[in-house]
């Protein structure tokens, strides 16, 4: 790693170590204010409020330097960051030196507390990079040496002075070794994490490649076999059958390609404003054609006046995939419920944008359910619980890819023996009146056995 790249890494790591207005930062701020208020109100130390203000000015100055653009001037930016960190640490270290001079033993106890806080700050927040750690460690060590100098007596300093000085030097070396060790441990942890992520990428690529190769090999075998038969028997009565089989296999290959692009979130979208209930009406017709007679279909329209801005064809394909998966999960029959709701606040666990309202398409079956141990894997490409030849394992990943590409998300809840519920969230849109697809009046729940 070259010099500029190393500096950029230092800045990125420092940015994520202690974020301003994070819960941890605010807790530390409150603790400092409470402690200094106690010293000011109960012990009459008037300098503490001024120290708090000066110290946190330095803290925010450090955060400002961290977030300034550094392109083309990495060395200068790092020098500024180091100096600001050193000044901040010096302001902090000045307080225990000052209160040590107070005669009351409570202030000596306060000095110990402040040095303990400095050590925790160094090893918990600044050990990711030893250079920034040193910027904070040096003023702390200088403060301890300054306190040790207070034991100087007589011509040669006296036993107390030399003992305190030796202890300070030993402490400085010990801190330096610990800081180096902490930095090494953080570096090894980062390298291990990167290796793990790389291994995951390679594994995912291998799974995707082998799955695509397997499916396309089967499709090409069908096409090749039928074309060879057609070539061998050009005037055979089964000519149309050979052509039809080859054409069907080619269409399956095209469908597989569309699924892959949707999973990779690279599908070309043709969005427009759509009324959610209109989507359900179209889906109802398609669902009745694919569901057997022993599965009761129940449709509940939302009656919402909101619309969504998405690709209608891909949305219908995604919902039909969910219907087919639900059908396959109920080989002995059951009920399939499909509804649309206007959701103001989706589950907090979903990775959705703040302040955006969503429309949710929910498909719920009373089928076998999904075991908890494989539930995290069902979004992976080519992962399927269906029998060989009955599923490509790309249906649900395609749905998830389409949802994310459209600014939404998919939520899956399932219990073995109780069924599965899948919610497809898509952001609401507020179209101009001339853009809205005309929406018929909301219909009541439609129920029918197929």
pLDDT at res. 147: 87
Give the 3-state secondary structure of residue 286: helix
177-181: long-range pairs with CB below 8 Å, 24+:
178/123, 179/122, 179/123, 179/127, 179/130, 179/133, 179/134, 179/137, 180/130
pLDDT at res. 445: 45
Location of structure tokens 């190769």: 213
**Cross-strand partners of 148:** none
Residue 104 CB-half CA count within 13 A: 9
CA distances from 400 to 320, 326, 412, 426 (A): 13, 16, 11, 11
384-418 in b/e form (b: 16+ CB < 10 A) is: bbeeeeebbbbbbbbbbbbbebbbbbbbeebeeee
pLDDT at res. 264: 52
165-181 in b/e form (b: 16+ CB < 10 A) is: beebeebbeebeebbee
Per-residue pLDDT of the chain (450 residues; tens, 9 = 90+): 566 777 777 777 777 666 666 777 788 888 888 888 888 888 788 888 899 899 889 888 888 888 888 777 888 888 888 898 899 889 988 988 888 888 778 778 888 888 888 887 777 777 677 777 788 888 888 988 888 888 888 778 888 888 888 988 888 888 888 777 877 877 788 788 877 777 766 666 556 665 666 566 666 666 767 666 666 666 666 666 767 777 666 766 665 665 555 555 455 567 888 888 888 888 888 888 888 889 999 988 877 777 888 888 788 888 888 888 889 889 888 999 999 988 756 666 676 766 778 888 999 999 888 888 788 777 776 666 665 555 556 678 778 888 888 888 888 888 888 899 999 999 888 654 444 444 433 344 454 445
Which candidate, 385, 371, 375, 287, places its Cα nearest to that of 336? 287
Contact (CB, 8 A) for 339 and 302: yes
- d(C-alpha 91, C-alpha 51), whole Å: 8
- d(C-alpha 353, C-alpha 102), whole Å: 54
- What the block records as the tokens of 448 is 């029918």
This prediction's pTM: 0.47
- d(C-alpha 7, C-alpha 132), whole Å: 11
Which candidate, 222, 201, 425, places its Cα nearest to that of 318? 425
Residue 410 CB-half CA count within 13 A: 25
- d(C-alpha 389, C-alpha 377), whole Å: 19
């Amino acid at each position: 790693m070259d010099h500029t790249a190393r500096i950029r890494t230092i800045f990125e790591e420092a940015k994520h170590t202690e974020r301003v207005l994070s819960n941890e930062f605010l807790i530390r701020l409150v603790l400092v204010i409470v402690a200094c208020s106690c010293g000011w109100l109960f012990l009459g130390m008037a300098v503490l409020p001024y120290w708090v203000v000066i110290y946190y000015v330095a803290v925010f100055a450090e955060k400002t330097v961290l977030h300034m653009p550094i392109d083309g001037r990495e060395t200068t930016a790092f020098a500024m960051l180091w100096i600001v960190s050193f000044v901040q640490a010096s302001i902090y270290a000045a307080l225990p030196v000052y209160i040590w001079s107070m005669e009351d033993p409570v202030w000596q106890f306060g000095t110990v507390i402040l040095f303990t806080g400095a050590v925790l700050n160094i090893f918990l927040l600044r050990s990711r990079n030893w250079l920034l750690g040193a910027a904070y460690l040096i003023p702390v060590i200088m403060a301890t040496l300054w306190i040790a100098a207070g034991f100087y007596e007589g011509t040669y300093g006296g036993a107390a002075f030399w003992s305190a000085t030796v202890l300070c030097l030993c402490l400085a070396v010990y801190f330096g070794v610990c800081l180096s060790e902490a930095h090494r441990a953080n570096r090894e942890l980062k390298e291990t994490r990167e290796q793990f992520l790389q291994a995951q990428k390679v594994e995912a690529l291998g799974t995707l490649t082998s799955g695509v190769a397997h499916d396309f090999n089967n499709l090409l075998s069908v096409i090749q076999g039928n074309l060879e038969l057609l070539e061998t028997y050009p005037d055979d009565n089964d000519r149309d059958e050979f052509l039809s089989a080859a054409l069907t296999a080619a269409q399956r290959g095209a469908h597989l390609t569309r699924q892959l692009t949707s999973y990779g979130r690279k599908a070309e979208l043709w969005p427009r404003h759509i009324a959610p209930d209109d989507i359900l009406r179209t889906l109802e017709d398609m669902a009745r054609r694919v569901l057997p007679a022993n599965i009761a279909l129940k449709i509940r329209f939302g009656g919402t006046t909101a619309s969504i801005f998405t690709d209608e064809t891909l949305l219908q394909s995604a919902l039909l995939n969910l219907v087919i998966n639900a059908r396959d999960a109920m080989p002995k029959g059951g009920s399939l419920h499909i509804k649309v709701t206007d959701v103001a606040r989706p589950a907090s666990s979903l990775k959705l944008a703040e302040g955006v309202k969503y429309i949710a398409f929910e498909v719920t079956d009373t089928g076998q359910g999904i075991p908890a141990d494989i539930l995290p894997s069902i979004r992976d490409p080519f992962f399927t619980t269906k029998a060989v030849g009955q599923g490509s394992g790309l249906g649900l990943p395609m749905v998830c890819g389409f949802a994310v590409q459209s600014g939404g998300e998919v939520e899956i809840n399932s219990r073995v023996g109780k069924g599965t519920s899948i919610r497809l969230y898509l952001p609401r849109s507020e179209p101009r009146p001339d853009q809205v697809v005309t929406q018929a009046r909301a219909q009541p729940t439609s129920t029918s056995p197929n």
